[in-house]
Amino acid sequence: MIQNFLHYTVKQNKLNITAYGMENILTAPCIIFVHGFKGFKDWGFGPYIGNYFSKKGFLVLFFNFSHNGVGDSLTEFTELDKFAQNTFSLEIDELEEVINLYRSMFFGKTNNSKIFLVGHSRGAAISLLTASINEEISGVALWSCVATFDRYSERQKAQWRKKGFFDVFNTRTKQAMRLNISLLEDLEKHRDGLLNIENALRKLNKPLFIAHGDQDLAVPIKEAEQIYEWSDKRFTEFSKIIGAGHTFNCKHPFEGSNRKFDLLLEKTVNFINNIS
């Protein structure tokens, strides 16, 4: 059973949340999926994942970050002003709120305390950082994870500071999507603390699953290898998906799954089942 929820954060930002597998909520572990940059909960493989994991016996929560740019249409970037104001720290705060909603029985009564984070790309890094500071998380799965948020040249940063914004182009929607200086300031303020991925990995004391396509052009496989190098090998599994790209050969609108993606899902479920 699928059910939609609406939640206003402590900062009065709106979170649209979809729960898959509500019939499992009483006894099942919870999986929270975290979308990435220019992503949203209903992007491409989102609903497929929700149905897949729920059929495996889990409660699965998908949500849109309040400043991901997608409004009430749920599939179109209609809030570019909010997208421009987004920060990494805000996303960590909002993921924490979704975790707390589950723990406080917002979605319904549960007798299972296990929570797993599954994140894609930038959302994978947000998941990792959150898991490193939240004791409620039982394990985290990283799909196509970035090894750093600092993905801009010094020349780009100089122009960013001079203009007060930086534009990125969405090749799918043909939209120029602005990032305000607040994102760069957030990164620079917290680069050695909250947003330091290496530090988060070195102190992560829980199971970690890393999956990455060796044909990923957006986030090269070397970033996954770096993440694995920083991780505690006693708790870490690294799966290189041969022949897969950044979204594991899935598209938006969704055109169906494929062997690479189904292999990823199978490996992720096995990782979670081995813990739960």
Per-residue pLDDT, 108: 97
Average pLDDT for 113-135: 98
Give the burial string for 239-258 (b: 16+ CB within 10 Å, else e): bebeebbbbbbbebeeeebe
In a domain? residue 169 = no
Encode pLDDT of 167-197 as tens digits: 999 999 999 999 999 999 999 999 999 999 9
Q: Which helix (H) or strand (E) holds 163?
A: helix 154-163
- Evaluate whether residue 187 is within a structural domain: no
- What percentage of the chain carries pLDDT values higher than 70? 100
How many CB atoms neighbour CB 117 within 10 A? 26
Residue 137 has pLDDT above 90, yes or no: yes
163 belongs to a structural domain: no
Q: Rounded to the nearest 10 degrees, how much is the dihedral formed by the CA atoms of 77, 180, 37, 239? A: 180
pLDDT recorded at residue 9: 98
Task: Share the mean pLDDT of the chain.
Answer: 97
Looking at residue 23, which CATH number applies to its domain? 3.40.50.1820
Q: Please answer whether residues 31 and 60 qualify as being in contact, where contact means their C-beta atoms are separated by less than 8 angstroms.
A: yes
Residue count of the chain: 276
17-34 burial code (b ≥16 CB/10 A, e <16): bbbbbbebbeebbbbbbb
For residues 136 and 183, give the distance between their C-alpha atoms in angstroms, rounded to a whole number. 28
Q: Quick check: pTM over 0.95?
A: yes
* Tally of structural domains, the chain: 1
Max CA pair span of the chain: 54
User: pLDDT at residue 276 above 80?
Assistant: no
pLDDT of residue 249: 98
pLDDT of res. 184: 98
Structural domain boundaries, residue 224: 2-77+87-150+195-275
Residue 189 lies in a domain: no
Residue 142 domain-assigned? yes
Going from the C-alpha of 166 to that of each of 70, 76, 144, 177, the distances in angstroms are 19, 21, 24, 8
Asked if pLDDT for residue 17 goes beyond 90, the answer is yes
Judge whether 245 and 220 are in contact, CB under 8 Å.
no
The pLDDT score that the predictor gives to residue 169 is: 95
Q: How far apart are CA 122 and CA 197, in angstroms?
A: 11
Q: Is the dihedral of CA 173, 246, 264, 223 positive or negative?
A: negative
pLDDT digits (tens, 9 = 90+) for 49-103: 999 999 999 999 999 999 999 999 999 999 999 999 999 999 999 999 999 999 9
The alpha-helical segments, DSSP class H, found in 17-121 are 46-55, 80-85, 88-103
User: Residue 35's pLDDT is what?
Assistant: 98
Instruction: Read off the amino acid at residue 196.
Output: N
- What percent of the chain clears pLDDT 90, i.e. is strictly above it? 100
- Give the type of residue at 103: R
Whether 228 is in a domain gets the answer: yes
Could you tell me if 227 and 145 are in contact, meaning their C-beta atoms sit under 8 angstroms apart?
yes
Flag whether 166 is in a domain: no
By C-alpha distance, which of 194, 158, 190, 163 is closest to 179? 163
φ and ψ at residue 182, rounded to 5 degrees: -60, -30
Concatenated DSSP letters for 197-208?
A: HHHHHHH--S-E
* Residue 17, domain member (yes or no): yes
